Amino acid sequence: MRTEELLEHADYLLGVAAGKCDSWDDAQDLVQAALLEGLLAIRKGKQIDNARNWLVTVLNRRFYDMLRSKYRKPLVFCGVDYALARDTVEAPDLPEAGDLTEEENLRRLVARMTKQYREVLTRHYFRGQGVREIAEKLSLPENTVKSRLRLGRDILRKDLTMEKYQKQSFEPETLWMATTGIPGLEDEPYTLVKDDKIAMNLLILAYEKPVTLPELADAIGISTAYVEPIVERLVDGDLMKRTGDKVFTDFVIYTEEDRLSSLELQKALAAELFESIWQQVEEGLNTLRGTKYYQEQNASARLKLEGYFALRSVYMSVLRARDKVAGLLSIKEYPDRKNGGKWYAMGNRYPADYDYDHSPYALYNISGEASRMIEHLPGAKYVVLCDYDVDDEILGKAHRVYQEAVDSPESAEFVMKLLYAVYRDDESLLSGIPGKMLENVDIFLNLDFLERSPEGKLKLKVPVLNEEDRNAFFGLTNEYAEKLLASFRGDYNRMFHNPVEVPKHLQSDVPGFLRYLNTCCYFPTALLYEARTRGRFLKGCTGPVPAVLMVVAEE
């Protein structure tokens, strides 16, 4: 029996359903569910001799299903369980896991819908969420959710075809960019992607193998004409490359599996080695506390210097051990990029609606060391701001929060000018800072960069060093990084297994240290977490103590 013959029974089924249901909406739902089950059965090659009787049987089963628990479980189109009655009944004709054509088709149709329908259909049919859960998640009345599901099913029933759209078309993923090296003048590569979901998902789709632009357009569900300028921007910005009539993503992309692959090993090793490592860190901290530049800081700034020293000493020792395994690459060897950049990009891929705050590694994430310099500010040859960004339970957040104050590629520069103006106690220096950042100055109070006096005056809580003291401080951290490396290199090597596999066409473009990034990136923060939870570091500190410092080279 053909699909067209099946659909000829729709009116008869609607009459049967109307006699059973209390509402026209419920009757339509029953008919659509029965017809969709029939369509799937045909796709699977099922022989249906008497279509009308077969469909009525399915409709009756669905009716009793509805009576037992309306919307108790989702109807299924593609390999997800049907909401079966508790009594044993004839199993519906579900597609097998390997039968992807129907799933691809349904994804295409969902992708074409406007957000209000796409959102509820995706949650209901592809994630298995019930009406009540969807209503709560989207802050909608349950009747609105039901209505959108019904209308969405109308569209699916009317337009079942076999075009191939990928998951990115109906449930776009997120790709957060990171980099090592020197960003371009316009903050490339970050600004090439930012929060552009289309760009993110084009990069994801072109990662495993080179693809043509029409293939990308088909996969993501939009016209090639709209894909072309985005791809051109990514190619021009060195995030994609061309090969013939195809393009591919030209940087490593990490998945959740990559990020989790050695997390537990790193945590366990940090706990095991803590006492031995911390003995050397405390020795270095005692040396730091005896320096003049440390003693000249206020109490809050001193703690930040201690946190910076502890984190950087451990982190640098681990990175140097990693580089001996993965290969050392100096910044001079990084590729030259547009707008004066010299960087390697990295991407972290996350599924839709990923819960970042409750991910297994959220506590141990680290970003940095980040350093930025501005020359020729009034009274200074240059000013440098250095920081690491980690969770507040470790030390504290820093540069990943700057754009919350002002959404601009120059957000870090504005932060430096703000801190320098407070340091100089010179309001005239605030003239070059966007008003939005000044309105959001409480962000920097919460970060513990600034405090407000009882009179309302801003005061700096970030340590400030001159050139000589900066060199002495970093020299001290490097000295203890080398001591830790000499003592624990053999232990560190236990982490350096299972580097990320990259596609063959990318192997020459992704340096070894980026393939080994996730094998050791959590160890330094895991060690500091041990220090804090054991009461051995920053004891009694309940707020953030970010690893941040400012260098001011006086004129």
pLDDT at 90: 37
Residue 378: both structure tokens together = 């009034």
Mean pLDDT of 240-266: 96
pLDDT at 174: 94
Residue 188 has pLDDT above 70, yes or no: yes
Side chain identity, residue 404: E
Residue 483: both structure tokens together = 């001591």
Enumerate the domain spans of the chain.
3-158, 172-250, 258-554
pLDDT band at residue 219, thresholds of 50, 70 and 90?
Answer: confident
- Residue 440 makes CB contacts below 8 A (sequence gap 6+) with 404, 405, 406
Give the strands of the sheet with 174-182, arranged side by side. Answer: 174-182, 342-350, 252-254
8 A C-beta contact, residue 29 and residue 150: yes
Residue 357 has pLDDT above 50, yes or no: yes
Beta strands 366-375 and 464-465 are: unpaired
Q: Which CATH architecture has domain 172-250?
A: Orthogonal Bundle (1.10)
Position with higher pLDDT, 409 vs 3: 409
Mean pLDDT of 191-211: 94
What span, in angstroms and rounded, lies between the C-alpha atoms of 217 and 202? Answer: 9
For 470-500, write each residue's pLDDT tens digit. 999 999 999 999 999 999 999 999 999 999 9
What span, in angstroms and rounded, lies between the C-alpha atoms of 431 and 414? Answer: 11
